[in-house]
A and B are shown apart, each in its own frame.
Chain A
């Protein structure tokens, strides 16, 4: 019963995933394409949940949907791409695209049918024991066995921040900055000038 339910879930989400993927390449509006990609990521995250890899599913949602796609959206909105112009190259690059697609189909066939014949389904996917959490398992080795590599990764991030600031932050001349002290110290005489004028008289 549970297996049947899982199979139904799998096919539901798989269909949505393929639909979303098609939406990415077929939608005319780039913002819609990015949104479809977000949907595709959510669907594949659920597929990963179904094969009991919660951590990867969580990371996919957190990193790709939460950070990378938001960045994509920003870039798409800022660049203002003329979609029609980009699509002009479609027919020109079509043969190359089809060649790559054929290669990938060939590889998939290799992996799924040719290799799959030798591996029986039973030994391929053993259900994990009750209460097993791969997030916990990952954390347990990340902070013990690989703590050194983990710390170095942190150093690399710090270095990346320093390097990025070194390369981009500059003091530009003629920048219109506020000088708060000057603003506070200003006197009435600096800003307001009283002008004596004859009041106008009606003719």
Chain B
């Protein structure tokens, strides 16, 4: 193996090197110049994105004896993940500064989490997938507990840690059964072995797959393994919630796709039923419980559960169309989620968290432009045309209809209508109610500009979804 053989893995290598640079340089920076760490982190992300483009292989490439894969799917998801983390850092900067939380560790843990996400996206073996998941989870636990003096954050981190450890255990247990049956760790090898030995498609393997799906559902936050999600969203500081709500969803998608599409694609009937139950429950419970929430972070948490239901139903179809729809849905959802939490951060200031939905009252009077942006995010999530959420939902419903499940398609439409209620309530508060809070936003110009671009992207992607949709279908094939 020579140095150039490692080229496809250069995004991870560059990111790890830059993490070390940030880690060392942060030590020499005094507290009042901490903003330098922020810019070094942004530079690291830019370098990583550049190396993603520079090292893009022509076709699917395996590396490290088949434990690493670089394919168009990984390129697309990694690029989105890098972008989401950069957005999260940018939205968080002013908030962290005001709350005296601007410490190098926030960015460092965020970069470590991104490394975990990238390892998961590029995993071609169950071992690397698990290690990537642990890298991501460990940095998320620490990020949730980041504010050391807050009892709420500590409680949320504790819940997250304990439940996350159980989920990792379930996943690992499933992996050990699958390894025991098939005798290989690599996803493509698993598919090959199962094709050659149909007799392996029996109870022990199904047992392993069941545990695998439990672990995935936990990490994705799907019902009935969703209990941690609203509490963690609420308990963590808004920048951390933004981080958890965006990029890790891409990693969870990669986790599900690599296992179920690449490993067990041919055993589609085996896992289809389990995924369906989890997805339908998420769709119903997520949307219904979100209505009762008064805290916007909790509400967005339950809305995330409902969106996961859509993503899982797209994967449930087991068709290329369905997988493509899942990728499209996840990509557009994380863009909207990042924007919505970006708005929550924008409305917060020192000593005040804009957590209640009521805090959005009268936003139109305070800032018509950002009220419009929030309207974009909410309409996008609700699935109102022409915002991008509509096309994401439409694709999934199409895929499910083509797979021959009209009942599920109707359920998705009904759930979307129910879900529209709580998104529209936020819009109602912004435009038709008056709030007592009339303070000016603290965020700097660049944050506002990026948030505006984020909002406009939700509309622009909705008007021209074709290219992204084509890209999502192409990367699956």
Contact = CB atoms under 8 A, between A and B. Distances in A.
A155 B67 CA distance: 16
Contact of A145 (B65, B132, B134, B141): B65
Given A162-B142, A170-B148, 8 more contacts: A148-B65, A148-B68, A152-B132, A155-B135, A156-B135, A163-B109, A163-B142, A166-B105
Report the 9 A-B pairs with minimum CB-CB distance, sorted nearest first: A163-B142, A148-B64, A166-B105, A152-B131, A145-B65, A159-B112, A148-B67, A149-B127, A156-B135
Interface in B377-407: none
Interface size grouping (class) on chain A: 10 to 19
Interface string A139-152: 00000111111001
Contact of B134 (A146, A148, A156, A167): A156
11 contacts: A148-B65, A152-B131, A152-B132, A153-B131, A155-B135, A159-B109, A160-B138, A162-B109, A166-B142, A167-B142, A170-B148
A152 to B, nearest CB: 4
Interface of A: 144-149, 152-153, 155-156, 159-160, 162-163, 165-167, 170
B10 interface: no
A142 to B, nearest CB: 12
Contacts of A167: 142, 145, 148
Given A162-B109, A166-B146, A148 B128 contact: yes
Contacts of B63: 148
B131 A159 contact: no
Contacts of B127: 146, 149
Most buried by B among A148, A160, A170: A148
Interface in B290-306: none
A166 B127 CA distance: 28
B119 A152 contact: yes
Interface of B: 9, 16, 23, 63-65, 67-68, 103, 105, 108-109, 112, 115, 119, 125, 127-128, 131-132, 134-135, 138-139, 141-142, 145-146, 148
Nearest to A154: B16
Interface class of chain A by DSSP? helix
Nearest to A161: B23
B133 to A, nearest CB: 10
Nearest to B124: A148
A148 to B, nearest CB: 4
A156 B142 contact: no
Contacts of A146: 65, 67, 127
Contact of B128 (A152, A159, A162): A152
A144 B65 contact: yes
Contacts of B67: 145-146, 148-149
Contact of A156 (B64, B125, B138): B138
Contacts of B109: 159, 162-163, 166
Contact of B138 (A144, A145, A163): A163
A101 B139 CA distance: 39
Contacts of B112: 155, 159, 162
Contact of A159 (B103, B139, B146, B148): B139
B145 A159 contact: no
B236 to A, nearest CB: 14
Nearest to A145: B65
Nearest to B131: A152
Nearest to A159: B112
Contacts of B146: 166
A196 B232 CA distance: 70
